[in-house]
Amino acid sequence: MAEHNDIVREVLSSEDKFFSFAPLYLEVGIGKGDFIVGMAQKFPGHYLGLEKEVSIAGMAARKVVESNLDNVIIRCGDFDFVYEEIKDVKFDGVYLNFSDPWPKKKHAKRRLTFAPRLEKFFALIKEGGFLKIKTDNDILYEFTKEELVKTKFKVVKIMDDYPVDEVNDVQSEYERNFRLLGQPIHRIECIKEGE
């Protein structure tokens, strides 16, 4: 990752030239990078990927380099920490794909879809922008639906068993594996309408 500071940022600033491009998207928890790389290849726009695990972020960075993409940057770090660096940036959309479900009830506040964290995503999204969530985890899915009610997001679509959509979406490695196991994929789509 150190060899590619054009792709991997140690720190972010809302003044970064990258954030002047549009459309601009954020994926939190990019894993090995299949989704963000696929989206950046398939759809116009610039993509910021966050990943808290350094070794995993390194795998994603390698895929970005090998794909010769100039519209993706990666920041290794926890969302709550990185939020302070990007809180003045406005994104057209945010993706949460197969986030850590933190299955124990006592860890619910650690989930990316905990209402106060969802409000941070709301603040990062432009008017009319979206939040799209995919998970295989039933507990996280039900929790997320309950938490979204506490936020300003308008939920526009809830799918208990989201079908493969090769035209408008990209599958991550996790998603492909879960589908091979016959595990239903849940999806929630929200938009930001007004403050």
- What is the C-alpha to C-alpha distance for residues 136 and 174, in angstroms, rounded to an integer? 9
Considering the four listed CATH numbers 3.40.50.150, 3.40.50.261, 3.40.50.12280, 3.30.420.10, the one that applies to the domain covering 21-191 is 3.40.50.150
> Is residue 3 over pLDDT 80?
no
CB neighbours of 93 closer than 8 A, spacing ≥ 6? Answer: 23, 25, 26, 125, 129, 130, 131, 132
Residue 9: half-sphere exposure toward Cβ, Cα within 13 Å: 19
pLDDT at 105: 87
> Is residue 170 over pLDDT 90?
yes
pLDDT at 23: 97
Q: pLDDT (tens digit, 9 = 90+) per residue, 143-166?
A: 999 999 999 999 999 999 999 999
Sheet holding 46-51, edge to edge: 8-9, 72-76, 46-51, 24-28, 91-97, 125-135, 186-191, 154-159
- Does this model's pTM top 0.85? My answer is yes
Query: C-alpha 188: how far from its chain's center?
Result: 13
CA-nearest of 87, 91, 89 to 126 is: 91
Supply the residues annotated as catalytic: 100
Q: pLDDT (tens digit, 9 = 90+) per residue, 107-144?
A: 999 999 999 999 999 999 999 999 999 999 999 999 99
> Is residue 2 over pLDDT 90?
no
- φ, ψ for residue 77, nearest 5 deg: 165, 165
- What is the C-alpha to C-alpha distance for residues 41 and 20, in angstroms, rounded to an integer? 19
Could you state, in order of their start, the residue ranges of all structural domains in the chain?
21-191
